[in-house]
Amino acid sequence: MLQPILFAIVSIVAFGFAWRQYSRVRRNILLGKDEAIGGNAAARWRNVLLIAFGQQKMFKRWIPATFHLFIYVAFLLTQIELIEIFADGFSGSHRAFAAPLGGFYTFVISFIEVLSMLAFVATFVFLARRNLLKVPRFHKPEMKGWPFRDGNLILLGEILLLVGIFSMNSAGTVLQSMGAEHYHPTGFFAVSGWLGPAMFGGMSEGSLAILERFGWWLHILVVFGFLNYLPISKHLHLLLAFPNTWYARLTPKGQVSNMPDIQREVASMLNPEAAPQEPAAETVLAFGANDVFSLSWKNILDAYTCTECGRCTSECPANLTGKKLSPRKIMMDVRDRAEEIGKNLDSKDPKYFPENAGTPMLNRLGYHDEKSLFDRISREEIHACTTCNACVEACPVLINPLDIILQLRRYEILMESAGPSGWLPLFNSMENSQSAWAMSVERDAWKREGG
């Protein structure tokens, strides 16, 4: 009875800590403004099934996509064996599903083992791509330090998971052949059926029992560790890719969202009589975004969903020509800023909640730390963007870095009256004469002359 008690304690602690971690992530995502997202439910389900679940966009680069598929499918199907581990852990039984399922159980575990072997190979391939082949997109400036180590840690954790599975199954196979108590026959498994006798055939029953339990506990403890590691890792996309693809915009990629207040102003300028008459607002209007509070919650969800795969940056024409812009860095900076604010909120330090924070940083939480996204994202980066949508098209989980870049630009231009020196004459001309060119004649003069 010791195992069920110990397993229950470990499970409660692991899930309790995980609940706190994921609640914090949810809180940070909801720091953003409300954004109503509706539309065609069928199209949204199609995105979830084809892009998040089906990995459709990954196969634009079929070699890494194939190896990724091995790990992904193995991860999904291994959950069947994980469910059995939970059943055994709480009940104290051994392979609770074997007797009810019979031969089908042997087939399912064998299939999982074959996929796990493919995942084992894929894991070493990805380690080699990162550390030996040094694929350029994994060695950009924003990937130095923790982001690079994070990818390696997950791959090493994957190896530990597989070691646990095969140790458990292989030792169990030998114990079954010896007629050991509690180790009832489950049939010949595709990998451990030959791996077990080959590696552990000469061991004693007691040693095999210890090895089998070692594999069982190693697997579940790594799973619990993985569960609690995800919230601080780029691999949170394993969970967030599904809601992110569901809430992705269904509008054409080249369509830029308008600002209603600007639209009303332009309408009143072009046709004062047709423009809606609205009372003057009592509050100062804010355009664009300078911090996570003025981005939408969907923008921050994008940032937490980012896989840091670098496909966006590798396709960005600005980055390819040596400019500072990296769409991946933009997403990482937004997530890091949300994390920074979240930690400060958790600290409950009064210095972050002054009575008068100043208009530029006011938000519904009253939070103020004299920082913004512009402390992380330079003006040079957002100016380099050509708005070509290459990053949006490249992302395998429908993240939109361009939307964040445009909102930062809007804030800079409309709220700070700043921007690149080459842009300002254009904006001034459009504001004063509704023309891109600073000409002395009125824009519609040609109509009157022709009449």
pLDDT band at 133 (very low <50, low <70, confident <90, very high): very high
At residue 244, does pLDDT exceed 60?
yes
Tell me what the pLDDT averaged over the chain comes to.
Answer: 90
* Range scoring the smallest mean pLDDT among 38-47, 234-243, 273-282, 437-446: 273-282
CB 257 within 8 Å of CB 409:
no
The residue among 304 and 267 whose pLDDT is bigger is 304
Report how far apart the first and last C-alpha atoms of the chain are (Å, whole number): 98
- CA–CA dist 272, 264 (Å, integer): 10
Q: Identify the helix (H) or strand (E) that includes residue 281.
A: none
Helix residue ranges per DSSP H, 230-374? 237-246, 260-270, 297-305, 311-315, 317-320, 327-347
- For 391-416, what is each residue's pLDDT tens digit? 999 999 999 999 999 999 999 988 88
pLDDT of residue 242: 96
What is residue 430's three-state secondary structure?
Answer: helix
pLDDT band at 126 (very low <50, low <70, confident <90, very high): very high
The identity of residue 167, as a single letter, is: S
At residue 66, does pLDDT exceed 80?
yes
At residue 357, does pLDDT exceed 90?
no
How far does CA 98 lie from the centroid of its chain?
36
- CA–CA dist 202, 183 (Å, integer): 18
The identity of residue 240, as a single letter, is: L
Q: Please report, for the chain, the start and end positions of each structural domain, with discontinuous segments joined by +.
A: 2-11+61-246, 284-416, 421-451
Q: What is the pTM of this model?
A: 0.90
Q: Which residues pair with 296 in a beta bridge?
A: 33
CATH 1.10.10 fits 284-416, yes or no: no
- For 165-219, what is each residue's pLDDT tens digit? 999 999 999 999 898 888 888 989 999 999 999 999 889 999 999 999 999 999 9
pLDDT of residue 5: 93
